[in-house]
Structure 1
Amino acid sequence: MHSFRIGRWHGCMETQRDTRNMKRKALMTTTALAFAGAMAAGSASAADMLSVGVGGYMEQWVGFVDRSDSANDAVEGGIDQWSDSEIFFRGKLEADNGLTFSVKVELEGNTAGDQIDESQLTIGGSFGQIVLGTEDHPAALMHYGNQDVGVGYCGDSGWTGVTGCSRNGEMGLGTNGWIVGGDEQKIAYYTPRISGVQFGAAYIPDHTAEDSNGTPNGNNNDGFSVAVNLKHDLGDTNVAASAGHYQVSNDGGDDQTWTNFGLRVGFGAFGFNVAYAEHEDGDGDDMDTGDYNLTSAGAKYSDGPMAVSLTHMMGEADNGEEGNVTMLSLAYTLAPGVASKTSVIAGEQGTVDGTAFVTGIAVGF
């Protein structure tokens, strides 16, 4: 296991609960002070109302996969067509006192679970930003992972059956260092970026209630997320680094923790990246693979409307299961907001291995 692995919390449950309460109170106090300062600054002009615009994206993919499973002869490949689309409703208002108020609601076009993906309110000012609602947590939003220009390691990438967003059977290989969790109701605060450095923290009252308003249950399933990242440009060279931690409590068991690190370096048209993430499983969880870690590295080249990327990711679980996936992708801009994307994927995990060729059109509006 990696030298900076985060260990499980040990000791009595009372000590864990006291520690969580202290962290929760500290975050709530900081957010409350920032919120009070924002409200004390004044109100927007009565003549101005927040207006909402429409945006979004649509992706249509066609692919072929050759997949096998030594433990299941029925698993085969084939040809498929996938769709992914969302409609964004966004609005922003700047008050006379300098405060900004923005809203965002994301409507799923191809839903398999919830119709509304995320909805949030953001209050911004010289103090930073306060975000209320369903949005990814800081350790996910502020992370610098792989820069794939094709179908990606998450979302629509599950063609081979060894990668995707899942953190159960796929050991989180689809995360490229991006930490799980996301659309739970939360309270988040982000500092202004000072000398290239920004810090973010969030408190999640109930990590089991995604996109829903539940009755308070004693905060026995709460969580928190903290992250910091750095961006610095020097001529044609740019460097970005990130570190994040996400932790949730479990009834009757140890907390679950996720930790990630990312680094990107760019030299003109070339970009290079490495990322690391690990998960410590809490007692009583039903995850198939328990503790695991993953490491990824990649390179990207851009020239006008064309971009190409090559990335590789490998993961290892404490139960001995291993997996890896390699992706070569090409993107070409056909028109403003319209790009053709193609990926060749090869991967294996446990008894499953597969290759895939995927091509599609991505339209942003």
Structure 2
Amino acid sequence: MTSKILLGTTALAAILLSTGAQAADEGLKLKLGGFFQGFAMIGNVDRNDGVDNFRNVSFESWNSEIWFTAEAETANGLKYGFRIELEGASVADQIDESYLWVSGSFGRVMFGNDDGVGNSMAYQIPTVTRSKSLRIEDQDYAPTANINGSHLLTAFNSPNHYALDASKLAYTTPRLAGFQFGVSYAPDLSEDPGTAAPGTAVAGGFETDNDNQAGDALEFGLNYNNKFGDLGLIASVTYYHDQLEDGAAATSADRQSVAAGAGITYKGFSFGANYMWTDNYRSAGYGNAGRKNVDLNQFLVGAQYVTGPWSFGANAGWGVADGKSNAAAGNSEDKLFAGLVGVGYNLAPGIELEAGVQYYDWSSDINAREADATVGLVGTTLSF
């Protein structure tokens, strides 16, 4: 009897293992991707505080990445994978996004260092060129580092991009009739263990809760994406909220933000706009707490047209950071207007040649914070 049970159990195990082997996929397979961007910036920055010791030409090639990705799918339709992005230059944030994900009929779960749904599900305006290198939203090649650092609004960030790549857990539902909902949570606005800066992650322990940073970042997103023949409609509303940590300075406060946007696509044409309001605004950054009594209103608009190898586009933005009730901010209302036009040409698969002209105007109640800049861009984006 024992031998028969053992024989039957062994046979059953063999059948189960055989079935499992037949049903299982081939597992994760590593893929490489990424891009390299090289641009020449040519122009001038004029500051009202008299600081003008800047060159008129700059070669920019720091924004390049290598992506390590893998994904697989089981016989029952469960998909899973990971993504790690390595910066192509020696920067503080050497590893950009790094996360794992699982998706199926239940939706998608992400765990790791990636944008929260307040940003990832928000509508972002069309970029100027097809490669997305030329844009004013989260712009990489602009003279924003050359203006007076006290200005409350130095550049235009994409909606609710305050938690950036802090470690978080996110869930998004399946898309139903064009609609999708998501939620994400980050206990601490920190990333990259082993650095000395406050608000950074730790390895094998708990982050500090008394360094005047922020945490408990909760985000919600709702978007719509559907096509009706050649016409595509996209819209979104997203929300972000974080809380001060223990021992926060009196000049800081909990931050909340709401963003809404919408756009259309028709054949090679795309057009859209988004708006963001933030209470207790401070420019995006890992762990930065909100600045008390500073409100932000930001409006961006963009258009792009693609025909054959050519892409043409324009972006414009206007924003005001109202810090009149904040003495530490100079009781000032700071404004920013910016515009960018450009053209791209797809020379060969993975090679995009691009050129554009951008204009920035920073105004303020405080004369020394005012500045303007006109900059030309010529370069290329290689992607694989």
Task: Work out whether the TM-score is over 0.5.
Answer: yes
AA aligned opposite 1:57: F
Alignment of 1:85-96 (within 5 A): 85-96=64-75
Residue from 114, 129, 133 that aligns with 2:108? 129
Measure how far apart 1:352 and its partner are: 1.0
Which amino acid in 1 is paired with 2:277? E
The amino acid that maps onto 1:224 is L
Q: Which residue of 2 aligns with 1:303?
A: 307
Q: How many residues align?
A: 320
1:104-253, aligned counterparts within 5 Å? 104-148=83-127, 149=129, 150-153=133-136, 154-159=138-143, 161=145, 169=151, 171=153, 173-177=155-159, 179-207=161-189, 209-212=190-193, 213-214=201-202, 215-216=205-206, 221-251=215-245, 252=248
CA distance in 2, matches of 1:199, 1:282: 25
Q: 1:360 aligns to what?
A: 379
Distance between the aligned counterparts of 1:364 and 1:136, measured in 2?
A: 22
Asked if the contact 2:163–2:217 (Cα under 8 Å) also holds between the matched residues in 1, the reply is no
Native 8 Å contact 1:177 1:262 kept in 2 = no
Partner of 1:340: 353
Aligned residue identity for 1:293: N
| CA RMSD after TM alignment | 2.7
Provide the C-alpha distance between the structure 2 equivalents of 1:340 and 1:175, rounded to a whole number of angstroms: 25
State the secondary structure of the residue aligned to 2:175: coil
Structure 2: how far apart are the matches of 1:181 and 1:72? 35
**Matched residues in 1 for 2:146 and 2:221: separation?**
28
**Is 1:322 aligned to residue 338 of structure 2?**
no
CA contact (8 A) 1:315 1:324 kept: yes
| CA gap 1:79/1:218 in 2 versus in 1, 3 angstroms | closer
**Is the alpha carbon distance of 1:218 and 1:96 closer, same or farther for their aligned partners in structure 2, counting shifts above 3 Å?**
farther
Aligned partner of 2:16 in structure 1 is none
Q: Secondary structure at the match of 1:221?
A: strand
Q: CA deviation at 1:172?
A: 6.3
| Residue segments in structure 1 that go unaligned for 5+ positions in a row | 1-41
Change (3 A) 1:43 1:357: farther
SS in 2 for 1:238: strand
Q: Secondary structure at the match of 1:173?
A: coil
AA partner of residue 226 (structure 1): F
Q: Which amino acid aligns with 1:186?
A: K
Q: Counterpart of 1:17?
A: none
Instruction: Please give the alpha-carbon distance, in whole angstroms, between the structure 2 residues aligned to 1:190 and 1:286.
Output: 27
CA deviation string 1:143-186 (max 9, x = no partner): 222212252222423236589xx9x8462632244533221110
With structure 1 as the length reference, what TM-score do the two structures score?
0.80
Structure 1 range deviating more: 242-251 or 187-196: 242-251
Give the C-alpha shift of residue 282 in structure 1: 7.3
Amino acid at match of 2:350: G
8 Å Cα contact 1:67/1:75 also seen in 2: no
Range that drifts further, 241-250 or 260-269: 260-269
Match status 1:71 vs 2:41: no
CA 1:287/1:254 → structure 2, altered by over 3 Å: closer, same or farther? Answer: closer
Cα 1:74/1:47, change in 2 over 3 Å: closer
Find the aligned partners of 1:115 and 1:44 in 2 and give their Cα distance: 40
Find the structure with the greater CA-based Rg. 2
Which ranges of structure 2 fall in alignment gaps of 5 or more residues? 1-19, 194-200, 283-287, 324-332, 364-369
2:144, 2:155 within 8 Å by CA — same for their partners in 1? no
Percent sequence identity is 26
CA distance in 1, matches of 2:357, 2:31: 36
C-alpha distance 241-75 of structure 1, shift in aligned 2 (>3 A): farther
Distance 1:205 1:338 in 2: 40
SS of the counterpart of 1:140?
A: helix
Contact 2:119 2:158 in 1 (8 A): no
Report how far residue 107 of structure 1 moved: 0.5
Q: 2:314 touches 2:339 (CA, 8 Å); kept in 1?
A: yes
Note the 1:285-300 alignment, pairs <5 A: 285=289, 287=291, 290-300=294-304
The 1:76/1:131 distance shift into structure 2, 3 A limit, reads same
Residues 326, 43 of structure 1: alpha-carbon distance in 2 compared, 3 angstrom cutoff? farther
TM-score computed with the length of structure 2 as normaliser: 0.76
Amino acid across the alignment from 2:311: A
